[in-house]
Structure 1
Amino acid sequence: MLLPVMAAVDGSAESLAAAEWAAREARRRGRPLRLVHAWNWHPRREDGEIATAAQRHLGRRTLRQAEDRVRAVEPAVDLDDTQVEGPATAALLNAAEEAELLVLGSRGLSGFTGFLVGSVALGVVARATRPVVLVRAGEEAADEHLPSADEHLPSADGGASTRTGFRDVVLGVDLGDPCDEVIEFAFEVARLRGARLRAVHAWQAPSALGLGPGEIALVGDAQRAEEWRGFLAAVLQVWRDKYPGVEVVETVTRDRARSALLRAASGAGLLVVGRHLVDRPAGPRIGPVTHAAIQHVGCPVAVVPHK
């Protein structure tokens, strides 16, 4: 049985955009789409049964709205839906265990909407064992495609059209800890779209405090950059061999990782970043680079967990 692509919906513009994005991804992957709506049960309320019935009714209406949107854009996709009860973070995490990936709506700097408020959405991203994709409100199928100046295409003003090629998939690569799960996810989504994959690694010159006597003058920035390019090429070679049809562009830049990725993701169709599955004493967390991507990048962001 194929695991579905799953989208969490709450009736907001963000979640409806997420549902449409998930439907397109399900079609590309040849997988079913499952819409999920989470709501909290209040067992101590005197009118608990009435409240539960009301929430179920609201959930049913929310799911129908999302289904209508999905049917309008991807009528052939195999679609089902479900309602889950309990604290939203735990409910979505449990549901996601039975999914290929989970798609959520995001409002970026403004936080998250509906039941995906602040710590809930961040908690899902920080704890999920499956890839999570965050999608902004207003994201449409045409936004995944390159702009076209062809007056015969639907977007005569030079805007995006679904009849053009796909925008780049951007992959953030940490050469200090390259991760197969993250790299493979990026190559696969690029293959499914026929898109170019742009792999980005950012490096910074070592501090003088970390170098031994005489080492500062031995290696200049140009040589360091060339060494990093060689490392990146070596890491990606096995994936180039596995995905020979994917065009790959390798970018190595001296910069902070978050700045390099935010710049590279401008105009991209999807940004792919990783997140360590290892729990820390303070609990699961999202690294600063991934957190910056979630907050500031305009295109959809895929957060892929790895060991």
Structure 2
Amino acid sequence: MLPFVVAGVDGSAESLAAAEWAAREAARRERPLTLVHAWHWHPRQGEGETASAAQRSLGRRVLREAEDRVRAAVHGALPRDEQVEGTATEALLRQGERAELLVLGSRGLSGFAGFLVGSVALGVVARATRPVVLVRAGEEAEDEHVPADDGSGSTRTAYRDVVLGLDLGDPCDEVVEFAFEAARARGARLRVVYAWQSPSAFSLGPGDIALVDERRRAEEWQGFLSAVLQVWREKYPGTEVLETVVQGKASTALVRAASSASLLVVGHRLTDRPVGPRTGPVTHAVIQHAGCPVAVVPHE
């Protein structure tokens, strides 16, 4: 069986947007789509079977609505659906382990407040061992494409850039490959962003770049970035790559780049922390504030 794309749905606007995005992505990847609804029953005396039946009935309605949205949005889409029992985070993690990609919704907020990413989505992103994409409510197919000549939304124009946030101190192959594959599938340009900050006198160590002026320091980082990407350019000769090196905070640079992107790709190191699984500060910031879908790719 081919690897498949999974979308978690709960009837919310953000999960329906995620289902539609997942259907488009499954079509791009030529993969089957599975819609999953998770429900958790807390048993109370005397109503076990009734409560269970009600939950399953609700789950069927949620899945039917998502299926209708997917079929209307993507011609020829034939999603399968599945109800799973258990807490949403645990159930989605189990589904994600068997999938090529897991897609979840995040609630869009206005202005500078960014996006409200619920505890379920954050818990899944922090612990997933497969890539997870977060999609905001209201995300539509037109948002992935550059505007038409008259400024209106269109799905007939070229795709917007795929943006990759790259850590030159830890340029993991899994993250880079995911971004190149996403750009290839869309026929889009890949914009690779690296943000650097001037080291303090106390933070420099042996081998660190400590050139006198910032211009030369930026040139050094640009050279490192080009060297890291050279093998990937050769592997994906049909993908146009734009290298961007900026001075400043990585989260700020990536959120800015995401404002005109179809997809933002970042990595997440799988580490055991004393306080439990969590995302790093850059990943946490971009999934809260990026203005496009965000793919979080786990790596060792």
Q: Distance in 1 between matches of 2:141 and 2:120?
A: 27
- 2:273 paired residue number: 280
Deviations 1:76-125 (A, max 9, x none): 2342010011111111100111111000010154534xxxxx32221101
Offset, 1:219: 2.5
User: What is the aligned counterpart of 1:194 among 178, 183, 187?
Assistant: 187
Q: Which residue of 1 aligns with 2:111?
A: none
Please report how far the alpha carbon of residue 220 of structure 1 lies from its aligned counterpart in structure 2 after TM superposition: 1.1
| Cα deviation, residue 210, structure 1 | 3.2
| C-alpha separation in 2, matches of 1:189 and 1:175 | 20
Q: 1:268 aligns with which of 261, 268, 284?
A: 261
* CA root-mean-square deviation: 1.6
User: SS of the residue aligned with 2:51?
Assistant: helix
Q: Does residue 100 of structure 2 align to residue 100 of structure 1? A: yes
Report if aligned partners of 1:26, 1:77 keep a CA contact under 8 Å in 2.
no
| Separation (CA, whole Å) in 1 of partners of 2:209 and 2:221 | 17
SS at match of 1:269: strand
Q: CA offsets, 1:226-253, max 9 Å, x none?
A: 1100110111111111111000000001
CA deviations on 1:242-289 (whole Å, 9 max, x unpaired) are: 111000000001101111111111111110001011221221111111
Give the Cα separation in 2 of the matches to 1:73 and 1:10.
18
Q: Distance in 2 between matches of 1:249 and 1:256?
A: 19
Residue 235 of structure 2 is aligned to residue 230 of structure 1: no
Identity of aligned residues (%): 73
Q: Which residue of 2 aligns with 1:290?
A: 283
Alpha-carbon separation, structure 2, partners of 1:224 and 1:216: 7
The 8 Å contact of residues 208 and 216 in structure 1, kept in 2 or not, is answered as: no
Instruction: Indicate how the Cα distance of structure 1 residues 28 and 218 shifts in structure 2: closer, same or farther if over 3 A, else same.
Output: closer
Question: TM-score, normalization: structure 1?
Answer: 0.92
Distance 1:25 1:106 in 2: 17
1:70 aligned partner, one-letter code: V
Q: How many positions carry a matched residue from both structures?
A: 293
The alpha-carbon deviation at position 208 of structure 1 amounts to 1.7
**CA offset at residue 44 of structure 1?**
4.2
Contact 2:204/2:210, CA 8 A, preserved across alignment: no
Show the counterpart of 2:17.
17
Residue 26 of structure 1, CA deviation: 0.4
In structure 1, what is the Cα distance between the partners aligned to 2:62 and 2:45? 24
Task: Give 1:85's aligned residue.
Answer: 85
| Equivalent residue, structure 2, for 1:220 | 213
Do structure 1's residue 37 and structure 2's residue 42 form an aligned pair?
Answer: no
Structure 1 letter corresponding to 2:221: W
Report the Cα distance in structure 2 between the residues aligned to 1:254 and 1:146, rounded to whole angstroms: 27
Paired AA for residue 58 in structure 1? L
1:125-180 Cα distance to aligned partner (Å, 9 max, x none): 1000110000011111111000121xxxxxxx412211100000000000011110
SS in 2 for 1:238: helix
| Inter-CA distance 8–217: structure 2 relative to 1 (3 Å threshold) | closer
Residue aligning to 2:202:
209
Q: Is the 8 A contact 1:31 1:78 kept in 2?
A: no
Change (3 A) 1:226 1:36: same
**Residues in 1 aligned to 2:289 and 2:54: alpha-carbon distance in whole angstroms:** 36
Match of 2:142 in 1: 142
Q: Which runs of 5+ in 2 are unaligned?
A: 109-113
Change (3 A) 1:236 1:292: same
Does residue 111 of structure 1 match 2:104? no
Separation in 1, partners of 2:299, 2:29: 21
Q: Which residue of 1 aligns with 2:67?
A: 67
